[in-house]
């Protein structure tokens, strides 16, 4: 935190907070409106943010927590690896070079003021693409190494001197199952970055460079002060918690995730050193994901409407040694780390803090995104199709109220897939979709119920699932009971077959697959 040399205007600070936030939100609106895939247009599986000239985040939209806490490392990687000039845009998805998992493609665009030779800002957005190649449709397979998961993009130029690199686009689109949809979504991301650029230039034109730059810094300092005030309110001490992933998809062994949080004054050290080693299966998280989960948890505990930016992380030191499940190294399979392990990291962080802040921390929510992908050849068109969605669980009960039924929580903020869109665009029929009554944990305050969703396949398809909390239930707090674990099963020729939490299988026309998602934990004795 820099030393205050001149008193700032709090009214102007609030105005700038909302102006930068509105830039990120407008980027998101442009991306959603112009995208092609249901995952982006309907489920809103994307995120947008604005950065200063040093690559430090200024503001983010109310989008995906797992994207936004990790996106600064993408911007950092783009700046480090590519010389960006006026009219350039960088693209990347490499989890070991600023990304998270391969379906999440990030675009980074530098913003230059008139006559300036170095960028004054960067706009960035990340969207989850429904297919990026790899061994299965949807690019979320039960994989053993990253090379099975799809097309890897290191930080390279997507656009140079205001011209999109069509040679790169040809190579990318030749490696995916749904090239028209991919091209449309990428161009939507590109235009969203351009929208952010125009709005930032408007802000500087209206208010002057000196004032805009000053309040950019003030906003980051303000967020830092608020997080430090939060940490100061936590009793000094050491707080630990351990939980487990069910398995990695290849072994039945549980995977340990452990954290120790040490609070000292206005600083906190978050240490994951006692977590288990990276696994053969695809639940490994790269460091950016662990950092994102820490960012999210501490940001949620600040009671004020502060901007989510670089300043939030300054008081926090994250220790995650390489080679662990929370900081995997190449060529680890990582498709599920971004979506499944991120949720368990949040669970252990809240679990540790529940001992220090019992009146602030909720019981565990469902703890899984229930990542379902399927694809094949569409019987009506003869063309490949690929689909991805996550299915909501129950929210954990809170210290003063019940959890919410059937809602995406913590590291995901995606929306429901409308039944009409699903059945109109894909060869599936929804047989059942509703709440899984009684799945929430009991307590003074009840955990939210999970959901039940059944798909009938109308053509032969490949079906993949990466899920968790099928063995280790979402915990209750302070006397509340655990939520129910999830279930997966398929009905083939009238026979019900139980399925594990993670699998790749082939399904036939008429097969019905059902997901029953976990409920949230209860809070307090019933």
DSSP state letters, 287-302: HHHHHHHHHHHHHHT-
Pull the structure tokens for residue 431: 């047989």
Q: Give yes or no for residue 313 having a pLDDT over 70.
A: yes
The average pLDDT across 270-279 equals 98
Characterise 135 by phi-psi region: left (phi > 0), alpha (psi -120 to 50), beta (else). alpha
Identify the sign of the CA torsion 281, 285, 287, 288.
Answer: positive
The predicted pLDDT at position 416 comes to: 84
| CA 321/CA 290 separation, integer angstroms | 11
In sequence order, the 6+-apart residues with CB closer than 8 A to the CB of 109 are 88, 89, 90, 122, 123, 124, 159, 193, 194, 196, 197
Residues sharing a CB contact under 8 Å with residue 415, sequence separation 6 or more, in sequence order: 42, 43, 44, 408
Between CA 354 and CA 194 the distance in angstroms is 43
3-state class of 194 per DSSP? helix
Please list, in sequence order, all residues whose beta carbon lies within 8 angstroms of the beta carbon of residue 115, skipping any fewer than 6 positions away.
Answer: none
Report percent pLDDT > 90 for the chain: 93
Beta pairing class for 316-319 and 267-271: parallel
Do residues 505 and 465 make contact, with C-beta atoms less than 8 angstroms apart?
A: no
- Asked if pLDDT for residue 5 goes beyond 60, the answer is no
pLDDT score for 162? 97
Predicted TM-score (pTM) of the model is: 0.95
Residue 321: pLDDT band with limits 50, 70, 90: very high
pLDDT band (50, 70, 90) for residue 4: low
* pLDDT at res. 63: 74
Residue 62: its H or E element? none
pLDDT at 503 over 60: yes
Q: What is the pLDDT at residue 303?
A: 87
Taking the C-alpha atoms of residue 41 and residue 418, their distance in angstroms, rounded to an integer, is 11
Using DSSP, state whether 371 is helix, strand or coil. Answer: strand
Outline where DSSP puts E strands in 408-520. Answer: 428-436, 450-457, 461-466, 487-492, 495-498, 502-507, 512-516
pLDDT band at 413 (very low <50, low <70, confident <90, very high): confident
Give, for 68, the enclosing helix (H) or strand (E).
helix 65-68
Per-residue pLDDT, averaged over 183-206, amounts to 98
Given a contact cutoff of 8 angstroms between Cβ atoms, the answer to whether 408 and 509 are in contact is no
R_g over Cα of the chain: 22
> How many other C-beta atoms can be found within 10 angstroms of the C-beta atom of residue 317?
13
Rounded to the nearest 5°, which phi and psi values hold at 264?
A: -140, 100
* Distance from C-alpha of 516 to C-alpha of 483, rounded to nearest angstrom: 12
Report d(CA 505, CA 351) in Å as an integer.
35
Tokens coding 182: 């991919």
Give the pLDDT score at 79. 97
- Find the mean pLDDT for residues 105-123: 96
- Assess contact for 408 and 495: CB atoms under 8 A: no
Distance CA 352, CA 260 (A): 7
Q: What is the pLDDT of residue 204?
A: 97
Is the pLDDT reported for residue 3 higher than 60? no
> pLDDT at residue 68 above 90?
no
User: Are 111 and 121 in contact, with CB atoms under 8 Å apart?
Assistant: yes
284, pLDDT greater than 70 = yes
Nearest 5 degrees, angle CA 214-CA 216-CA 220?
A: 115
Quote the CA–CA distance of 489 and 173 in Å, as a whole number: 34
How far is residue 268's CA from residue 278's CA, in Å, rounded to a whole number?
Answer: 25
């Amino acid at each position: 935190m820099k030393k205050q040399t001149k008193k700032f205007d709090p009214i102007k600070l609030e105005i700038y907070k909302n102006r930068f936030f509105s830039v990120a939100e407008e980027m998101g609106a442009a991306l959603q409106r112009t995208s092609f895939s249901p995952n982006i247009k309907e489920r809103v599986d994307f995120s947008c943010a604005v950065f200063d000239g040093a690559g430090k985040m200024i503001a983010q939209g109310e989008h995906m927590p797992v994207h936004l806490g990790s996106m600064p490392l993408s911007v950092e990687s783009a700046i480090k690896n590519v010389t960006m000039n006026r009219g350039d845009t960088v693209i990347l998805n490499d989890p070991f070079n600023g990304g998270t998992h391969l379906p999440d493609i990030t675009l980074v665009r530098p913003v230059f003021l008139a006559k300036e030779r170095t960028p004054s800002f960067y706009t960035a957005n990340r969207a989850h693409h429904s297919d990026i190649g790899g061994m299965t449709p949807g690019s979320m397979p039960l994989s053993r190494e990253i090379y099975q998961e799809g097309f890897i993009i290191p930080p390279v130029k997507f656009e140079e001197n205001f011209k999109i690199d069509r040679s790169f686009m040809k190579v990318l689109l030749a490696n995916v199952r749904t090239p028209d949809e991919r091209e449309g979504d990428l161009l939507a991301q590109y235009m969203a970055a351009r929208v952010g650029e125009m709005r930032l230039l408007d802000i500087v034109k209206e208010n002057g460079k000196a004032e805009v730059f000053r309040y950019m810094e003030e906003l980051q300092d303000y967020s830092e002060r608020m997080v430090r005030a939060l940490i100061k309110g936590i009793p000094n001490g050491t707080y630990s918690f351990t939980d487990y992933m069910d398995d990695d998809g290849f072994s039945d062994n549980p995977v340990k995730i452990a954290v120790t949080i040490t609070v000292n004054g206005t600083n906190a050290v978050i240490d994951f050193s006692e977590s288990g080693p990276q696994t053969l299966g695809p639940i490994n998280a790269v460091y950016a994901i662990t950092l994102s989960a820490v960012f999210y948890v501490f940001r949620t505990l600040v009671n004020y409407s502060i901007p989510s930016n670089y300043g939030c992380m300054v008081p926090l030191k994250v220790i995650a040694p390489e080679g662990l499940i929370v900081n995997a190294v190449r060529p680890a399979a990582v498709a599920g780390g971004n979506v499944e392990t991120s949720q368990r990291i949040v669970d252990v962080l809240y679990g540790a803090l529940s001992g220090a802040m019992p009146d602030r921390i909720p019981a565990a929510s469902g703890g899984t995104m229930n990542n379902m992908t399927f694809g094949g050849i569409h019987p009506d068109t003869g063309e490949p199709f690929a689909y991805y969605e996550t299915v909501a669980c129950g929210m954990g009960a809170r210290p003063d109220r019940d959890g919410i039924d059937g809602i995406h929580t913590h590291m995901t903020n995606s929306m429901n897939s409308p039944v009409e869109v699903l059945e109109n665009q894909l060869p599936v029929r929804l047989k059942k979709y509703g709440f899984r009554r009684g799945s929430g944990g009991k307590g003074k305050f009840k955990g939210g119920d999970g959901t039940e969703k059944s798909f009938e396949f109308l053509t032969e398809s490949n079906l993949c699932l990466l899920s968790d909390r099928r063995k280790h239930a979402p915990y209750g707090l302070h006397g509340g009971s655990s939520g129910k674990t999830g279930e997966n099963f398929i009905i083939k020729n009238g026979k019900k077959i139980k399925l594990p939490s993670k699998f790749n299988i082939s399904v036939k026309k008429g097969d019905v697959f059902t997901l029953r998602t976990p409920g949230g934990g209860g809070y307090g004795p019933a």
